[in-house]
Amino acid sequence: MRSKLLLLILFCLSSTQLIYAQNRTISGTVTDGSSGNPISGVSVKVSESNKITQTDVSGKFSIEISSNTGTLVFSYIGYHTKQVPITNSNTYDVTLLPSEATIDEVVVVGYGTQLKKDVTGSTSTVKMSDLENVPLPTIESALQGRASGVFINSSSGKLGQALQIRVRGTSSITASSQPLFVIDGVPVITRDMGTYTEPENPLAAINPDDIESMDILKDASAAAIYGARGSNGVVLITTKKGKAGRTNIDVGYYYGGSKPTKVGKFLNSQQYRELLTASLTNAGYIGSAPDQYSSMSEFWEDWTGTNDWDENYDSDWANQAFRTGNVQQLSLTMSGGNDKTRFIASGAHNDNKGILVGNRYVRTSGRLGLDHNVSTWLTFGGNINLNKIDNYRVSSDNAFSNPQQLNALPPIQPIRNADGELNNNTVYYNNLIDLENGRQMSNTYRTFSNIYATAQITPNLVFRTEYGLDLLILEEEMFLGSRTQDGGDVGGYGFSHIAKSINYNFNNTLTYSKLFNDIHDFSILLGMSYQDGQFRYTQAEGNSFPSDKFQKIASAAVKSDASSYEDQFSFLSYFGRINYKLKNRYLLEGSLRVDGSSRFGPERKYGTFPAASIGWVVSEEDFFGDGSTWNYLKARVSYGLTGNAEIGNYLWRTLYSGVNYAGTPGTKPTTLGDRELTWENTKATNIGLDLGFFNDHLTFTFDAYHKKTTDLLLNVPIISTSGFTSILQNYGELENKGLEFSFNSRNLVNTIKWSTSFNIAFNKNKVLKLVDGQPIYPGGRYLGRVEEGKPFGYFYGKAYAGVDPNNGDALYYVDDTRTATTNDYNAAGDQELGTPHPKFYGGFGNRFSYKNFDLDIQTQFVYGNDIYNAAGAFQAANGDYFDNQLVSQMNYWKQPGDITDIPQPRFDEANGTRPSSRYLQDGSYFRVKNVVLGYNIPSASISKYKINNARVYLSATNLFTITNYEGYDPEINTTFAGNYQLGTDFYTPPQARTITFGINVGF
Tens digit of each residue's pLDDT (9 = 90 or more) over 349-405? 999 999 999 999 999 999 999 999 998 889 999 999 999 999 998 888 888 888 999
Helices first, then strands: H and E counts in the chain: 8, 51
Neighbouring residues of 504: CB distance < 8 A, sequence distance ≥ 6: 467, 468, 469, 531, 532, 533
SS3 843: strand
Instruction: Check pLDDT > 70 for residue 104.
Output: no
Per-residue pLDDT, 103: 58
Write out pLDDT tens, residues 538-566: 999 999 999 999 999 999 999 988 999 99
One-letter amino acid for residue 391 of the chain: N
Write out pLDDT tens, residues 310-352: 898 999 999 999 999 999 999 999 999 888 899 999 999 999 9
Instruction: Check pLDDT > 50 for residue 225.
Output: yes
Instruction: Check pLDDT > 80 for residue 664.
Output: yes
- Band the pLDDT of 8: cuts 50, 70, 90: very low
Write out pLDDT tens, residues 242-285: 888 888 899 999 999 999 999 989 999 999 999 999 999 999 99
Per-residue pLDDT, 708: 95
Per-residue pLDDT, 69: 67
Question: Pairing state of beta strands 866-869 and 984-985?
Answer: parallel
Cβ atoms of residues 207 and 135 within 8 Å: no
Nearest to 891 by CA among 175, 265, 375: 265
Per-residue pLDDT, 35: 64
Per-residue pLDDT, 117: 83
Give the number of other Cβ atoms within 10 Å of residue 353's Cβ.
Answer: 21
Residues in the chain: 1003
Q: Please state the rounded mean pLDDT for residues 48-54.
A: 75
Mean pLDDT of the chain: 89
Neighbouring residues of 394: CB distance < 8 A, sequence distance ≥ 6: 158, 356, 357, 358, 359, 401, 402, 403, 440
3-state secondary structure 493-535: EEEEEEEEEEEEEEEEEEEEEEEECCCEEEEEEEEEEEEEEEE
Instruction: Check pLDDT > 70 for residue 3.
Output: no
One-letter amino acid for residue 309 of the chain: W
Instruction: Check pLDDT > 50 for residue 5.
Output: no
Instruction: Check pLDDT > 70 for residue 101.
Output: no
Per-residue pLDDT, 18: 37
Q: What are phi and psi of 854, to 5 degrees?
A: -145, 150
Instruction: Check pLDDT > 80 for residue 9.
Output: no
Per-residue pLDDT, 917: 96
- pLDDT cut 70: percent of the chain above it: 96
Write out pLDDT tens, residues 515-531: 888 889 999 999 999 99
